[in-house]
């Protein structure tokens, strides 16, 4: 542990995907880095109570569902199928622990000084750390990066009680399968965790304020996704405004504007996230914010010299991989003046079954911006590998500029869409046309052939549809 006189080249507050990745890259570039994190486990929301534990439960719950209902047509059936929820949760915790140890190892290997405590900026170059062991310490740094992430948005009229009414954090730890789970918000968090508990046997009702699910995603795919989720048993109430929720020992009651209340035994509030900057001392040092987000320039500099910000606390999508890109670009710019993130090409993935993935512009955005486009669609139902694997529900949609043929957006719903989208993101990063994707030899039989066929379909020459 460093002493009172410790001076670093760079101090980073927050060891989520933005902060710890920035720390590693900065160390690779020769900086002496201090990394402050209040939680004993590094990796941030993503590793502790977000991306990773939810993916562990999505995987386990899908296996359970398949074993119960999805394998008969394969000629595989089980008798006496049982759910051991505690074991499922233990496996999830194990995955998190393994990855957390991995990050600890990386931080050690890169000779980054880790401070377990809460950082507060006293002035440019000066951070006070309230250490978790009760002591406090002041460190100096040429530069400071704020990477403190985000926290769930609260809804007026709903006070999470940390048990029956909670956020994704609680929904990753229910000790038994709810009979009736009400989800408020049909975004990524609601649909992923709703899928988990639906597969494990809960009745799941989704209440969404808008007239559609997955706002921000391509509307055509979102409509298709909703139909598929409905077939899986999720019940949707769109155009529904939640005005309150209360809980007692027996259950919960969710109050709606203009409709009857709903009784249930658990409520999951997933209506977005807000930057977490409490206690950092932003106002005292004069760091400018707008709607809670820290304003930065293209070099991630805040309004105060020597203080930078990345990830969920600044404008842009609140996604782990975007925070990582911010972190790397931020420290590379510090070291060399060069660094780059293409914010137009940040993929977004919803890890439901099937997955929904997207990169670039949606059809609605192109229409709003009057950009002429051609559209190629290819269904998974016409792909050999998809059928062999029982993944016929899905489609790829490619949007290419009508004149230049440059690919402007790719939207996929289907098995492994989250993996397939990487090809689209890589192609678009290199400025590909749909003809480029169509002319790329794709191995047969693979799901990736759906991308090639959708690219061919842009020019109305798909082979298999």
For ligand NAI, the closer CB: 242 or 455: 242
How many residues line the site for ligand NAI (CB under 6 A)? Answer: 27
Query: Considering only residues 56, 280, 309, 349, which one is a binding residue for ligand NAI as defined by CB under 6 A?
Result: 349
350 touching ligand NAI, by CB under 6 A: yes
CB-nearest residue to ligand NAI: 187
Please say which residue, 208 or 449, places its beta carbon nearer to ligand NAI.
Answer: 208
**Cα-Cα-Cα-Cα dihedral sign, residues 131, 134, 139, 145:** positive
Q: What angle, rounded to 10 degrees, do the helices at 17-28 and 320-336 form?
A: 30
355 near ligand NAI (CB under 6 A): no
The smaller minimum CB distance to ligand NAI, of residues 355 and 423, is found at 355
Site string for ligand NAI, 216-255 (x = CB under 6 A): -------------------------xx-------------
Complex with ligand NAI: residue 58 or 432, whichever CB lies closer: 58
Q: Does 186 bind ligand NAI (CB under 6 A)?
A: yes
Q: Does 52 bind ligand NAI (CB under 6 A)?
A: no
Site membership for ligand NAI, residue 208 (CB under 6 A): yes
Active-site residue identified among 8, 321, 391, 444: 444
Cβ proximity to ligand NAI: between 186 and 377 the closer is: 186
Instruction: Find out whether 104 and 112 touch, Cβ atoms under 8 Å.
Output: no
Q: Is 196 in the site for ligand NAI (CB under 6 A)?
A: no
324 binds ligand NAI (CB under 6 A): no
Q: Which residue lies nearer to ligand NAI by CB, 45 or 450?
A: 45
Per-residue x/- track, 259-298, ligand NAI (CB under 6 A) = -----------xxxx-------------------------
Does 181 bind ligand NAI (CB under 6 A)? Our answer is no
Does position 209 interact with ligand NAI (CB under 6 A)? The reply is: yes
- Which residue of 12, 96, 188, 280 would you call a contact of ligand NAI, by CB under 6 A? 188
Whether 8 is catalytic: no
Binding string, 113-152, against ligand NAI, x = CB under 6 A?
----------------------------------------
Residues found near ligand NAI in the complex (CB under 6 A): 155, 184-190, 192, 207-210, 215, 241-242, 270-273, 317-319, 348-351
List residues with catalytic annotation: 444
């Amino acid at each position: 542990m460093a002493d009172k006189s410790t001076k670093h080249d760079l101090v980073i507050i927050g060891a989520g995907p933005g902060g710890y990745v920035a720390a590693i890259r900065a160390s690779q570039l020769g900086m002496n880095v201090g990394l402050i994190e209040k939680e004993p486990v590094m990796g941030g929301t993503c590793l502790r109570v977000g991306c990773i534990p939810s993916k562990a439960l999505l995987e386990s719950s899908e296996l359970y569902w398949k074993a119960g209902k999805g394998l008969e047509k394969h000629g595989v059936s089980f008798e006496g199928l049982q759910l051991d929820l505690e074991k499922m949760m233990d496996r999830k915790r194990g995955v998190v622990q393994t990855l957390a140890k991995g990050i600890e190892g990386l931080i050690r290997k890169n000779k980054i000084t880790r401070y377990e405590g809460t950082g507060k900026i006293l002035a440019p170059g000066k951070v006070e750390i309230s250490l978790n062991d009760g002591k406090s310490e002041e460190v100096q740094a040429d530069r400071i990066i704020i990477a403190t992430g985000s926290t769930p948005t609260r809804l007026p009229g709903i006070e999470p009680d940390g048990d029956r009414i909670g956020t994704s954090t609680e929904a990753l730890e229910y000790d038994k399968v709810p009979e009736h789970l009400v989800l408020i918000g049909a975004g990524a968090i609601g649909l992923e965790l709703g899928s988990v508990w639906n597969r494990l046997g809960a009745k799941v009702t989704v209440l969404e304020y808008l007239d559609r699910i997955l706002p921000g995603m391509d509307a055509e795919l979102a409509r298709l996704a909703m139909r598929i989720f409905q077939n899986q048993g999720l019940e949707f109430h769109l155009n529904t405004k939640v005005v309150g929720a209360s809980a007692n020992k027996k259950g919960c009651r969710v109050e709606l504007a203009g409709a009857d209340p709903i009784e249930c035994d658990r409520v999951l509030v997933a209506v977005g996230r807000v930057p977490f900057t409490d206690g950092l001392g932003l106002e005292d040092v004069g760091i400018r914010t707008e709607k809670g987000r820290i304003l930065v320039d293209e070099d991630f500099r805040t309004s105060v010299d020597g203080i930078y910000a990345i990830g969920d606390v600044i404008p842009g999508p609140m996604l782990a991989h975007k925070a990582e890109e911010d972190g790397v670009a931020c420290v590379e710019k510090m070291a060399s003046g060069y660094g780059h993130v293409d914010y137009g090409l940040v993929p977004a993935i919803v890890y439901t079954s099937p997955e929904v993935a997207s990169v670039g512009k949606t059809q609605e955005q192109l229409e709003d911006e009057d950009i002429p486009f051609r559209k190629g669609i290819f269904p998974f139902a016409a792909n050999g590998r998809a059928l062999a694997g029982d993944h016929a529900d899905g489609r790829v949609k490619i949007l290419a500029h009508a004149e230049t043929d440059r690919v402007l957006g790719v939207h996929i719903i289907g098995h492994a869409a989250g993996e397939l989208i990487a090809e689209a993101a890589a192609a678009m990063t290199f400025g590909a046309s749909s003809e480029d994707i169509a002319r790329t030899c794709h191995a047969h039989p693979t799901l990736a052939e759906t991308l090639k066929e959708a690219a061919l379909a842009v020019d109305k020459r798909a082979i298999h549809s």
